[in-house]
Structure 1
Amino acid sequence: MKTARVASIVLSVMILGACAANERQTAKDDGVYKESGNTINRDDRHDLYNRSNNNQNYGFVREVKSPVPDETADFGRGDALDREKTASIISKMTVALPNVLDSSVVVTDAEVLISYKLSETDNKTRFETSDQVKKTAMSVVPRWYHVYVTDDPALKQNVENIGSMDPYSSNKDNAIKDTIRMMKESSPQGRKVSETENENGESKEDRMINSR
């Protein structure tokens, strides 16, 4: 009786060990686990947000507030799987905010640029709306993203031009950097994100890198 129980325990351990080995091999074959031991690195997270590798363009969507109440705001969080869909969600959420009539959104691999039109342009409305628009975008994108907003109509075309580019455009980095600089100069960016991050979610290290 004792011998049979020992044999049963040994057999169970062997079965569990075989299952675990099989699961590790399957995970490795599926690309979930890397040889470095990291489960998901930044490049992998980038891929999760761009499941369709056939379209390498930046996501760009323009949304105009619908005259029918609540119709424009019909969106689903499960759509946020690539840049185009992420831009669509942010655009829909933005025009659902008070005082926002029009929203153009560009989502790159690290930034969100939003140009919007206001129904009221007093300083208080501009500041509060910029904070709302920024926080709306940050609620959708991964935490490493930086968000930049503008209500300056002169910069709307800049944002739309970036939206027509792809990651391999020769001047896209300079276009993005110059547009971000002008957005920050001409429009409020809302409140600081945290004690260690500025209004756009940039840390001190981020700002040093971006200034190069």
Structure 2
Amino acid sequence: MKSARVVSIVLSVMILGACAANERQTAENDAVYKESGNTMNRDDRHDLYNRSNNDNNYGFVREVKSPVPGKTADFERNDTIDREKTARTISKMTVALPNVLDSSVVVTDSEVLISYKLSETDDKTRFETADQVKKTAMSAVPRWYHVYVTDDPALRQYVENIGSIDPYTANKNKAVRDTIRMMKESSPQGRKMSDTENENGETKEDRMINSR
């Protein structure tokens, strides 16, 4: 009887010792940690220890064309772009063009306004440069954007003023429309974009809306 009790005590001590050793091993193993009471494996949460990985990833999205004939993609205009970064990109691309000495660019939610200075000001150069500047900007923004350009020095300040307008400023839309009107009146806009779009990428419907 005494022998059985001794064996029982020895077994209990061995079990407790094994549990303690296991807990020490878990605590010392930096491959696991506790969060909200749940053990998580570092190998399963690699991103927590490599937060900079996302900075090196490419952006990738796959879209599948709708099988419904005539149904177009549902673009959200508010899904948008980084406007300041886009303006900077367009400005750099613009000054790389022949005859463009400097460039000021404003990107709104649906328009790009560009004021630039020419090294040559004959009519042919003005027209060709306007076409190049416009198409350069078109390549950097979603297709619903309209692009307006000017080489009139008197309008540079108007364009730059729009760039400093607070989004909540009263009559900001009117200020943009008035500046666009002056840009189109004073400067060539290049060639038509297509049979259904004018020089600025506007359709007939766009022009009707903008005239309201």
Unpaired runs of 5+ residues, structure 2, are 1-72
Q: Residue deviations 1:99-140, cap 9 Å, x none?
A: 000100000000000000000000000000000000000000
1:50-75: CA deviations, max 9, x gaps?
xxxxxxxxxxxxxxxxxxxxxxxxxx
SS at match of 2:169: coil
| Distance across 2 between alignment mates of 1:41 and 1:89 | 26
Aligned counterparts of 2:206 and 2:185: Cα–Cα separation in 1: 18
> Alpha carbon RMSD of aligned pairs, Å?
1.7
What is the match of residue 166 of structure 1?
A: 166
Counterpart amino acid of residue 79 in structure 2:
D
| Cα distance in structure 1, aligned partners of 2:163 and 2:105 | 8
Count of paired positions: 142
Tell me the residue number matched to 2:141: 141
Q: Distance in 2 between matches of 1:134 and 1:48?
A: 20
Spell out, residue by residue over 1:125-177, the C-alpha distance to the aligned partner (whole angstroms, 9 max, x if none). 00000000000000000000000000000000000000001321112101100
| Aligned mates of 2:170, 2:79 — CA distance in 1 | 22
**Aligned ranges 1:1-212 → 2 under 5 Å:** 41-43=74-76, 45-49=77-81, 82-212=82-212
Tell me: higher relative CO, structure 1 or 2? Use CA pairs within 8 A at least 6 residues apart: 1
Q: Flag the structure with larger Rg.
A: 2
Return the alpha-carbon distance in structure 2 between the equivalents of residues 151 and 48 of structure 1: 28
Deviation at residue 190 of structure 1 after TM alignment? 0.1
Change (3 A) 1:208 1:48: closer
TM-score of the two chains, using structure 1 as the length reference: 0.64
User: CA shift at 1:41, angstroms?
Assistant: 4.5
